[in-house]
Homo-oligomer: A and B are copies of this chain.
Amino acid sequence: MLSEQDNRRLTLTGPGTAMGNLFRQYWQPALLSRELEAGGAPKRVKILGEDFIAFRDGEGRAGVVEPRCPHRGADLFFGRNEHSGIRCAYHGWHFDVQGQCLDIPTASAKVAESLKPKAALHSLAVREACDMIWVHFGTPQGDTPQLDFTDLPPEHYFVSKKFQQCNWAQAVEGGIDTAHFSYLHANIDNGERAGLMPSQGVNEPPENGRYRWMIEDATPQFTILEHDAGLVMCAARQADNNQLYWRITQFMMPNHSMAPNSFPGDNHVGNTWVPVDDHSCWIFCYAYNPERPLSEQERRAYANGFGIFAEVDDNYVPIRRRENDYLIDREAQQTTNFTGISGISEQDAAIADSQGLIADRTRELLGQTDLGVVKFRRLMLESVDLMEKGGTPRGVGNALAYRVRSGDAMSEPDAVGLDVATNRFGELAGMSLRESRGTAA
């Protein structure tokens, strides 16, 4: 539970807000690399409540610049993308990917030269990595986060995105909350909750109990660890033969997560939640396999909305979304799956949206299974405090700290999270892995 003030502080990311300032310390993915074609159509991009246009010039360089021509304020979205950059449709003023003004045809050569520096567009620092175009609102400290798949050959990973119609923070809270698997994603068999397997298409033998254990134990025991990029959420459920089944989730500042559900050899998945404005966000979704290329079949499944990926339209807006109640099927809700909504991603989206455009955290009844959510909020709010006192929030300038991995593990009944995570992931459990006490620095 948060005070109304802390809830605003956690959720609002527009210019001048506390959390907005924190986000502006980090690289953020703004688009998929494939959304921009060299010399192709510019795209409108809204991020952290600010409007930009993104385009690739004729040489393939990507730019993310303010959309307003400094001459008379025409929208550069309508501009013509020429070899060296975008040219305003009104009077032909010309700008490169860094916002530099290249040409002012309405002025004499001499006047134009003196005017160009004043005519520069505000632009964001841009880098491309992991099939995404990353931006930084200020002066970047260090590289883009070195996510676990950063150095893998492209055949090993698949990246997409989906639009989410609520505030970023509650969507993150859904992403790091493994407790809800016992209900939200449950299948229904003979009127009772049952494993996820059949309808999710995961190619796993029935004797593997992980989906059954999630159904049978709705009160996983949480241990929160910390590392130099964020948090590790370890949730242990009762498994067969007195063993524990661990689902281990990574959270990396300020808005990345690597999800569990991977035993060694399985594909890994993760998300980044990027605020569009205070009431919506883009969720970048990635799947990868460190050991082998993804198969064509896997790529196709992800592209069509399997697992954390949503079934989306040409604009990456989910087909099943807020306006259509996610095409909830009340008959299916009684007989097939717990929500009557088709798709893991869509089930997550529905429940996050349903908390409101911005979840009201002033009225909650949190328990032990919400520990990860509580720690996430605390880390974010403490990081804002730290930044406001002049400190460096966790992860800033430390791209390598993001090289972490998530997944599942089995253990004896008395194992502790720190050991389980270290045994399972080694160094990929997180840089300077430690138990959670205070959080921020």
Contact = CB atoms under 8 A, between A and B. Distances in A.
A389 interface: no
A92 B363 contact: no
A78 B333 CA distance: 10
B41 A119 contact: no
B73 A363 contact: yes
A78 B339 contact: yes
A308 interface: no
Which residue of A92, A115, A334 has the most chain B CB atoms within 10 A of its CB atom? A92
Contacts of A364: 70-73
Interface string A86-108: 01111110000000000011111
Nearest to A70: B365
A406 interface: no
A179 interface: yes
B351 A179 contact: no
B338 A89 contact: yes
A417 to B, nearest CB: 19
A112 to B, nearest CB: 9
B367 A111 contact: yes
B180 A91 contact: yes
B368 A80 contact: no
B70 A183 contact: no
Contact of A360 (B73, B115, B333): B73
B354 A71 contact: no
A184 interface: yes
B219 A182 contact: no
Which residue of A41, A360, A366 has the most chain B CB atoms within 10 A of its CB atom? A41
Instruction: Give the number of times this chain occurs in the complex, counting copies.
Output: 3
A324 to B, nearest CB: 13
B74 A354 contact: yes
A367 B73 contact: no
Interface in A418-432: none
A26 to B, nearest CB: 26
Interface string A342-381: 0000010011001110011101111111100100000000
Interface string A209-237: 00000000011000000000000000000
Which residue of A41, A73, A107, A360 has the most chain B CB atoms within 10 A of its CB atom? A73
Interface string A162-206: 000000000001000001101110000000000000000000000
Nearest to A40: B330
Contacts of A341: 78
A219 B356 CA distance: 53
Given A72-B355, A218-B106, A354-B74, A182 B365 contact: no
A435 interface: no
A77 interface: yes
Given A91-B182, A105-B218, 16 more contacts: A68-B363, A70-B363, A72-B359, A72-B370, A73-B359, A73-B360, A75-B354, A75-B355, A77-B354, A78-B328, A78-B350, A90-B184, A105-B182, A105-B219, A106-B370, A111-B367
